[in-house]
Structure 1
């Protein structure tokens, strides 16, 4: 099979050439646009020399088309009253186009499109588009909405480059990723940018450049899918390379679609370029008018960042996630010495819960949507009792023990007969979902998929007792320090310093206490294996997932630990296979309270 390192650069060049032919114009210009920003520049232009352009943006759609929660088998609902999905976003887009004028608007996306729901899993694993040739529902919906471009997110690579290739073939717009480059040549593997011509009524055409940036964390999070094929350089240096090219090609407005948050932090330390670098791009790269932000799942209606070199204000906006919001960026331009110049920029968010879904989009995906509903509601076994996940983040629960049991069993079987067969197998799992429930009685695929919401695959690595202790201390930073005698509220006890639920790991196969009265780094007590204090030198096989093994969450030791198993099977598929094979989930066979929260030795919860 030819590798991406051979095929993709040629393809990216073809896409750019085709874009030129299709009025996604990449024309050289003798003079770059002289400025940008939101500061007014009175006196430069008369009223007849002004124009307005609107760029709409989505991000982190994660496979949501209809306002539906496949795990609950009901319409999506949350405490804030949000609605989700492209069908509703399409209705908002139609409103903006009607208000601003269709010829004055563009529609772009900032990535994480084809992973995240049972629908996307179905068309990647159950009936994969790579085998059926069927158009991916996300491609069908986005084509119908007439997107102009979409940046790639890190989750685009979760199912491998073959599926991404097929999705790229199916969409009618370019997928952009200027900082995804060929492993060997360093050439762009996808189109870096496009320049689209907008034709405001009564004015000369305006050229809007869209630069796509993806996340460097892909090199860690999907190492198995991209190593040897793609590299992911720094966002700032990549933008600094391409923005001048876009200006030279005639871009009057430069918008960056960046699958990168604004915080200036990384979940993987400093071994790769900055993960959340949108602010740095705005500050350090001259010539950018606005950035559509993604990746962080935040709601940023409008934020301005000052560029350090020019003093100009750069507009940032992020439309939350899952199609809950639509970012609307409005640019006012004026003719200055014969060139269009951005005089002001503003942004707002439109809420998906204010409209009914677009019937055109709903009709396109109706069959696919129903097939997925039918699939996830297929019973595959039974459970002897109800196992909820609601308390899993602060209490040892049977439902997390179930995940660890399946992972342990899979690793033990895989290592049997090898030189590592004698290593004791431990397992780690995180409380991915607060709402998942394995119900008493019939258990469906939906029940199991709702428990493990990410397409992580199974790994096993070798770690020592000392490394496991360090790992547990790091994981325990998830809890807020709480003095003895102070009332404990489970809702405020967790997520210290913004640590997400998926970055809190619980071990099976050993026993330990977490003393939340102590500072971070001094919390693990009574750490034992097989009834005795854990030997720092003892070697273990630790079952984990590809995200954690590749450095996701920046946990100590695990990314550098020797790999004993890379099964490349999704863990939720292992869970489903376990139920199919055993027909019964019985907590009496695997549930064990092996860890607890304490304060100076006293249990926090009964």
Structure 2
């Protein structure tokens, strides 16, 4: 990998390099010190843009300095100027994720010759290559291909096939070229130019076959990421690639390699012949101080996976990922002799934890999507009904919550109507819903907060972020209990009598914290989690879910229930025990979000008050601490079924609260 010792280059030493012609630009040390047979190549990454072209929160209908390709783009020119030579790639998940994406897909559509606003913006910036993320498939294959036809750069994906997998991955009938080898003229330390052949190979999570089965079943198939890489990387070498770069829309998981692994980038880096890895999907930052500590094979300080340079550039344009390579001529080809990695942010927080923008917008990017931005604003501001009480999610992880309640109500209303004349009409209908905006990686303002009064489409989109479709499963009372046991993994175990124990398991995503409406229950925090994050039974004797009742009586483990949910959960998303496609009895053509809109229109005015159907089992003399958005202080006294006290300020702009158990 390297013929010379790796140098411990830090951000401080980088900024201490030689000045370029502009006094405001500092050359990367590789560009400054490259010899006659050496060249500096910087490869820049955007990932998980999710249609955030503008630095604008459409749900809150206000600017937001933590996001936006227009902001990330504004530093591209200076980042290129720091480098001897540069290339730009996108690592997927650009097509869905905010109301602009939904507006284009569901309202405006894509006619012949149309260009999607995010593609318009990307074309302005001169990308060299891109790969697909899982969210590119949310609106269907036809829509995706219409969008991609407008891109001014190639897309690659080595593990998405048009049909059944061949016995040899190289015989797969792929939708895209598995890789592209780009010949780039680079300038060496003496000023001479010569070509380097950089190969880019792309990968998508195999789980798209579960998450978007309605779009892909019978039309596509996915192969294991590492398996596909092992087949195609040698071919790239044979075709003359000097440097091979993996565009992996897959995260970093050190739990051990498994077949069809969702977050396989660590093991992908171990494939012989791959020189560098761009990662994404997890919405985290690598290298960095906290997200990937303690994973064998991952150096979160140096920014390496299996000793090779790697980067993950956050989400929504929050960072620009940089891999800097010092190349050396070896005969007629180039090899890597040194590297550095960096995830460069577009904002920081000041001493008061307030967001401070580090960059300005790039006007050309704003101009490219301006008309679509304005049309999206008109779309999201359209009212559909009223709410008699506020809708907020500040306490959705610690008490029954109005933002989850309204989704549950709408799903029950819809499924009962759909099943009223069929074979399942006499089964009781329950509803599973989870909070999507509950702080976490999204920050201290990442919560639903809709005042009483008019509800617009932006508010409904805020309640339900994803274009999931409604599905219903038929399961037993025992399976209902295990579903809730899995959800209870959201919480740490709390010792009776503990004072201010940490409540929330930070590794458990809020979208997997399903509340099931139609039953009542308590969660016993003194017990360890029954299931691990992959749904494996790890504490058979543990039962966190207690006093589980239906219709005022203990639930019958054998009784059958219809549970309204979404296609992600019904298809096995989140690995909930025994919840998979074989339990599905109804597949709706409608998105969960559309069902909420229809429900509000049908009701005219909704009452979203939570019914407090779940709570924590009391533990005398015990308290636990959690964080939420500071605006939650306005609602803390209203929470039913829980005693919550203000406990001061938390980290990163959050507020701290005490739950009295």
* TM bracket (short chain): 0.7 to 0.9
Tell me the secondary structure at the aligned position of residue 446 of structure 1. helix
| TM-score, structure 1 normalization | 0.86
Superposed displacement of residue 488, structure 1: 4.7
Is residue 118 from structure 1 mapped to residue 99 from structure 2 by the alignment? yes
Of 293, 310, 313, 1:319 maps to 313
Is residue 597 from structure 1 mapped to residue 616 from structure 2 by the alignment? yes
- In structure 1, distance between residues paired with 2:306 and 2:182: 23
What's the C-alpha RMSD, in Å, of the aligned pairs? 2.5
Superposed displacement of residue 182, structure 1: 2.1
- In structure 1, distance between residues paired with 2:449 and 2:174: 44
- In structure 1, distance between residues paired with 2:597 and 2:575: 29
Of 460, 463, 474, 1:462 maps to 474
Cα-to-partner distance string for 1:116-175 (whole Å, 9 max, x where unaligned)? 11111111112122x475311011011111111111011111111111111111111122
- In structure 2, distance between residues paired with 1:231 and 1:38: 43
Q: What residue number does 2:463 align with?
A: 451
Of 52, 56, 67, 1:68 maps to 56
Cα 1:560/1:118, change in 2 over 3 Å: closer
Q: What residue number does 2:142 align with?
A: 162
- The 5-angstrom pairing of residues 294-333 of structure 1 reads 294-301=280-287, 313-333=307-327
- In structure 1, distance between residues paired with 2:216 and 2:321: 31
Q: What residue number does 2:627 align with?
A: none
- In structure 2, distance between residues paired with 1:519 and 1:377: 45
- The 5-angstrom pairing of residues 60-459 of structure 1 reads 60-77=48-65, 83-100=66-83, 104-129=85-110, 131=111, 134-184=114-164, 186-201=172-187, 202-265=192-255, 273-283=260-270, 285-301=271-287, 313-353=307-347, 354-434=358-438, 435-459=447-471
Cα 1:573/1:98, change in 2 over 3 Å: same
Q: What residue number does 1:10 align with?
A: none
Cα-to-partner distance string for 1:179-226 (whole Å, 9 max, x where unaligned)? 111223632221111111111231311111111111111121112211
Q: Are 1:399 and 1:438, in contact at CA under 8 Å, matched by a contact in 2?
A: no
Cα 1:440/1:133, change in 2 over 3 Å: farther
Q: What residue number does 1:26 align with?
A: none
Tell me the secondary structure at the aligned position of residue 540 of structure 1. strand
Cα 1:378/1:262, change in 2 over 3 Å: same
Cα 1:471/1:168, change in 2 over 3 Å: same
- The 5-angstrom pairing of residues 510-589 of structure 1 reads 510-521=519-530, 522-587=543-608
Tell me the secondary structure at the aligned position of residue 116 of structure 1. coil
Q: Are 2:474 and 2:584, in contact at CA under 8 Å, matched by a contact in 1?
A: yes
Structure possessing the higher relative contact order (Cα contacts under 8 Å, 6 or more residues apart)? 1
- In structure 2, distance between residues paired with 1:399 and 1:88: 31
Superposed displacement of residue 55, structure 1: 0.9
- In structure 1, distance between residues paired with 2:51 and 2:582: 34
Q: Are 1:463 and 1:561, in contact at CA under 8 Å, matched by a contact in 2?
A: no
Q: What residue number does 2:518 align with?
A: 509
Is residue 495 from structure 1 mapped to residue 481 from structure 2 by the alignment? no
Superposed displacement of residue 277, structure 1: 0.9
Unaligned ranges ≥5, structure 1: 1-34, 78-82
- In structure 2, distance between residues paired with 1:512 and 1:248: 61
Q: Are 2:47 and 2:92, in contact at CA under 8 Å, matched by a contact in 1?
A: yes
- In structure 1, distance between residues paired with 2:317 and 2:89: 13
Cα 1:604/1:406, change in 2 over 3 Å: closer
- In structure 2, distance between residues paired with 1:152 and 1:36: 30
Superposed displacement of residue 451, structure 1: 1.0
Superposed displacement of residue 67, structure 1: 0.8
Q: Are 2:399 and 2:642, in contact at CA under 8 Å, matched by a contact in 1?
A: no
Tell me the secondary structure at the aligned position of residue 123 of structure 2. helix
Further displaced range: 457-466 or 391-400: 391-400
Q: Are 1:495 and 1:501, in contact at CA under 8 Å, matched by a contact in 2?
A: no
Tell me the secondary structure at the aligned position of residue 282 of structure 2. coil
Q: Name the count of aligned residue pairs.
A: 549
Cα-to-partner distance string for 1:281-314 (whole Å, 9 max, x where unaligned)? 112x11111101111111113899599xxx9831
Of 42, 47, 63, 2:35 maps to 47
